[in-house]
Amino acid sequence: MVNQKNKSYLGSNNRESLIDFEIPNNFNQEIIVFIHGFMGFKDWGAWNLVQDFFTKKGFGFCKFNLSHNGGTIENGIDFPDENAFGSNTYSKELNDVISVLNWIDSQKISNQKNHLIGHSRGGGIALLAAKIDKRISSVTSWAGISDIGSRFPSGKELEEWKKFGVRYVQNGRTKQNLPQFYLLYEDFIQNQDKLNIGKACENLKIPVCIIHGSNDTSVPLIEGELNANRLNIPLQIIENADHVFGATHPWNLSELPIDLKKVCRITLDHLKTLN
């Protein structure tokens, strides 16, 4: 059994970030790598209970903070490094996933399969990563985004972002007005093919599961429908579920929220079909 908590890996730009890694006694040689979403972090809400759910079923589990999510080694929750947050790009997040897979390889686990689970923006990143890294055996998207380009401003708002080099987004939890530097948009323009979720879906040859809540107001259900249609697979809809499937931060209960437990069970059933 392995249970490493708050270890570190080197992500994009050699930035150190936090990582958790657990291998249960009844390990089935399959590792789930969990990718959090925008303004997320590995210890948000009920993600620790998600880890417990899968390790009890024999899966290894790895979750980590994206290197430029605003957290630090000393504080991985409250986004103390606003400059790192502002410097984040989709390409950096994609590179972080590859770095984490390399870190897992360094743990010398023999004959493992790697399954990505991504939430929200992390769902889109998971699909992009699977296009470029053959070590990924499957992807499951939880409330995942369907494209990146539509998330940027246009017209006057885009012009002002370019002029000033920065815009600000509020974190509803910490109430910080966090910077986003214009390089986020420049990175997308320079790497549109690599960051095209639609193309990634159309070219994937591995199993994918798309799960979405019908009452998701952050990433609307239509985005899940679009990804599922691209992949020619059924969309798994959690009726009346919101973007985080009933979880909140902090989550102080010992049980998963009902909707998030449904998501975990659907994911587990999907992974079982792959053997």
- Give the model's confidence band at 102: pLDDT under 50 very low, under 70 low, under 90 confident, else very high: very high
Q: What is the pLDDT of residue 80?
A: 97
Residues 61-72 have pLDDT tens digits of 999 999 999 999
Tokens found for residue 86: 């502002």
Mean pLDDT of all residues in 200-224 = 97
Average pLDDT, rounded, for the chain: 97
Mean pLDDT of all residues in 210-220 = 98
Determine phi and psi for 137, rounding to 5 degrees.
-90, -25
Instruction: Give the chain's domains with CATH numbers.
Output: 2-151+192-272 (3.40.50.1820)
Q: Is the pLDDT of residue 275 over 90?
A: no
Give the whole-number percent of the chain exceeding pLDDT 70: 100
Q: What is the pLDDT of residue 110?
A: 86
List all residues 6 or more positions away from 246 whose beta carbon is below 8 Å from its beta carbon: 257, 258, 259, 260
Asked if 213 and 143 touch (Cβ cutoff 8 Å), the reply is: yes
The strand pair at 16-23 and 2-10 is best described as antiparallel
- Give the model's confidence band at 111: pLDDT under 50 very low, under 70 low, under 90 confident, else very high: confident
Determine phi and psi for 8, rounding to 5 degrees.
-130, 150
Q: Is the pLDDT of residue 254 over 80?
A: yes
Residues 9-46 have pLDDT tens digits of 999 999 999 999 999 999 999 999 999 999 999 999 99
Distance of alpha carbon 160 from alpha carbon 163, whole angstroms = 5
Q: At what angle do helices 155-164 and 183-190 cross, to 10 degrees?
A: 110
Q: What is the pLDDT of residue 129?
A: 98
Distance of alpha carbon 254 from alpha carbon 119, whole angstroms = 21
pTM of the complete model = 0.98
Residues 148-170 have pLDDT tens digits of 999 999 999 999 999 999 999 99
Give SS3 for 259: helix
Q: What is the pLDDT of residue 51?
A: 98
Q: What is the pLDDT of residue 1?
A: 87
Q: What is the pLDDT of residue 183?
A: 98
Mean pLDDT of all residues in 54-60 = 98
Residues 255-264 have pLDDT tens digits of 999 999 999 9
Q: Left (φ > 0), alpha (ψ -120 to 50) or beta: where does 79 sit? A: left
Q: From start to end of the chain, where are the E strands?
A: 2-10, 16-23, 30-35, 60-64, 113-119, 136-142, 166-170, 177-181, 208-213, 235-238
